[in-house]
Amino acid sequence: MGICIAAAMLFIPAIAQSQRQAAISTCQNKLRELGHALVSYTHNNGGQFPLVPTGGNLGVAGIYAPLLKEAGQIEDDSVFVCPGSALAENVNDFQGPSIEALEQQSGKTLQKSQRTMGGSFGYAFGYEDDDAVYRANINRSRPQFAILADSPSLHLKDRQSANHGGRGQNVLFEDGHVAYLKNTRAQDASDNVFLSDRGYVEAGRHWNDAVIGNSWARPVLQAR
C-alpha cells in the first residue's frame, strides 16, 4: 500500500501538469484562429482592428467577438472559450449575442451579455493620439503589441489572468504569434499587456501602448 501511495504521489501531479499543458496548447490554437480572423478583418477595414466604442451597449472590450461574427470571420462560438478557463465548464451552452441583440438589451440582461460575450479572452482597446482623438489600433504586424489574451482578472497582481490556474496567460501578438507569459509583461518586458503606460485600465496612451481589457471593461479616456 505504501508503494502504491508513493507512486500515486508521483503520477497525480504529472497528470495534472499534462492536463494544464494540454489546456494551454488548445487555448493557443484558439487564439491563433482568432488572430487569423482579426487579420482578415483588418484587410477588409482599412488595416484597422475592431474598435471598442467609448460608450453605449457596445462599448466594452468583448465587442470584438460579435464584430468578428458579424463580419463572417467566425462561425463557431466555441473558439472564444479557452479550456483553461471557468467558462469551459459550460462551453456547450456558450453563445455570444449578436450586435442587433446587444443594441436592444438593457439592465441585467445587457450586463450578463457584456460580461460573457468576449468568451475567455480579453481584447485590446484603441488608443488616444497626440490630439486626444480616440482611434482604432492599426495592424502594423508588431511582434510585441498584444491584441488578444487570456482574460485579465480583477484580483491577481497586475491583473494576471485567472485562466490556467492564475499561473500565466497566453497572449496573441499583432504579428500573429502566441506566447505563454508567466507574468503580464510583453516579451521585451517593456509593456504590461493589461495596463496602460501609466498603470490604468484605459485606452492606450499612444499608438504603441497595448491595453487588453476583459469582456466588460470600457476604454476610459484621459480627461484633458
Give the three-class secondary structure for 180. Answer: strand
Q: Do 54 and 110 contact (CB within 8 A), yes or no?
A: no
Q: What does the pLDDT look like over 191-207, one tens digit per residue?
A: 899 999 999 999 999 99
Query: What is the reported pLDDT for 189?
Result: 60
Q: Answer whether residue 175 is part of any domain.
A: yes
| Tally of domains within the chain | 1
Distances from the Cα of 88 to the Cα of 95, 111, 159, 187, angstroms: 12, 20, 20, 27
Query: What is the reported pLDDT for 18?
Result: 65
User: Strand 169-173 to strand 178-181: parallel, antiparallel, or no bridges (unpaired)?
Assistant: antiparallel
What is the rounded average pLDDT of the residues 59-75?
95
Domain with 175 in it: 2-213
Q: Answer whether residue 219 is part of any domain.
A: no
Query: What is the reported pLDDT for 171?
Result: 96
Work out the number of other CB atoms within 10 angstroms of the CB of residue 129.
12
Q: Answer whether residue 187 is part of any domain.
A: yes
Q: Answer whether residue 221 is part of any domain.
A: no
Q: Answer whether residue 82 is part of any domain.
A: yes
Q: Answer whether residue 155 is part of any domain.
A: yes
Strand partners, 181: 169
Work out the number of other CB atoms within 10 angstroms of the CB of residue 67.
21
Residue 143 DSSP one-character state: T
Query: What is the reported pLDDT for 222?
Result: 66
User: Among residues of the chain, what percentage have pLDDT more than 70?
Assistant: 88
Q: Answer whether residue 218 is part of any domain.
A: no
What is the rounded average pLDDT of the residues 51-76?
95
What is the rounded average pLDDT of the residues 75-83?
92
What is the rounded average pLDDT of the residues 73-77?
91
Q: Answer whether residue 61 is part of any domain.
A: yes
